Amino acid sequence: ITKAIKLAEENRSEALIIMLDTPGGLSESTWEINSEILSSNVPVVMYIAPRGARAGSAGVYITYSCHITAMAPQTNIGSAHPVGAGTQQPDSILSEKITNDAVAKIKTLANKRGRNIEWAEKAVRESASITEYEALEMGVIEYIADDIDDLLRQIDGDTIEVISGDVVLNTKDARVNEIDIGFANRFLEVISNPNIAYILMVIGMMGLYFEFSNPGAIVPGVVGGISLILAFFAFQTLPINYAGLALMIMAVILFLLEIKVTSHGILAIGGTISLFLGSLMLIDSDLPYMQISLSVIIPVVIITAGFFLFAIYFAVKAHKRKVATGEAGLIGETATVTDMTDGKGTVFVHGEYWQALGTEDFPQGERVKIIGIEGMFVKVDKL
């Protein structure tokens, strides 16, 4: 929105129309957007559209900050009661402070734009919501428009006060230029979905775990690193609970310890529980659209726990596997005698000739068992 306002100012546009359909958002972002709109030299028109759209929570504050507000048919606005970002269950005093601050902000906007103050306060304190016709009748919005062209015809000739003074809109036959938000913003919009950000973080953890437990695999490490970077990039737009993040990191540590410590699966169970609890706590918001869906958490936890247990199984199996290289790898192997005199000679094993000490003289071609290593000699005995 900030870039769009600057572009509209540079192009000396008649107005900037924002089409809004949102359940809400973070308070900090909302106040920043409001500040940009209030400081704009171009009239900013809020259009809650298309049909079926809503301006919920943060959308109410942004709507009230705009110079002109309009709604399409079958839309609604309201439910602006704030939730305490950073505290899952804010105490009564903190909750009251947050609510009073939000009420003061929206009343200031209502006074500035000459809109309904009483309903604005009710929307914040009681989460009141109204339809487009109720909003028009109550003075919450100025217009109901079927589409952009209808809106442009209705606002034509309006006198609007912007930061630099009054301007008269000439929009009846205005040409509409759509502003593309760009690939970066679209991509951020996708990964900022709490479910997507959560999955990216889990993929990152799995990839790095696999890379550290199997050095040189490269691909899992690269994929894991990129996924983690994208996840943390998305987290900057989400209310993260760091206790939940710590629990998820703890889960990985417990899975790693399961390889090193004989716990008979206790550490793995603890890691699974820690992963599940961390997933539930990761996003710190009471808003449903800002939370990770349980239908995503459960399969992700099951798949992730299965992945770690699978990796642990093969890691333990590899640690227990008999050494197959070097001198130690020869013990227990079968060798072929090439010559043997007075208990000394040579044997052929693993494609190599070794000097050998026998418990007795073995004839050429006899198969013997290597029972030990003594200096540069292998000790052999009959099978």
Q: Give the DSSP per-residue string, 116-176.
A: -HHHHHHHHHH--EEEHHHHHHHTS-SEE-SSHHHHHHHHTT-EEEETTEEEE---TTPPP
Taking each helix axis as running N to C, give the angle between helix 182-191 and helix 194-213, from 0 to 180 degrees, rounded to the nearest 10: 80
Closest-CA residue to 27 (of 298, 211, 290): 290
Q: Which of 97, 112, 260, 344 is catalytic?
A: 97
Q: Catalytic residue at 164?
A: no
Q: Catalytic residue at 97?
A: yes
For residues 50 and 146, what is the distance between their CA atoms, to the nearest angstrom? 9
Closest-CA residue to 114 (of 158, 75, 149): 158
Which phi and psi angles does 156 have, rounded to 5°?
A: -60, 130
350: left (phi over 0), alpha (psi -120 to 50) or beta: left
DSSP 204: H
Q: Which of 13, 27, 40, 57 is catalytic?
A: 57
**Catalytic residue ranges:** 57, 97
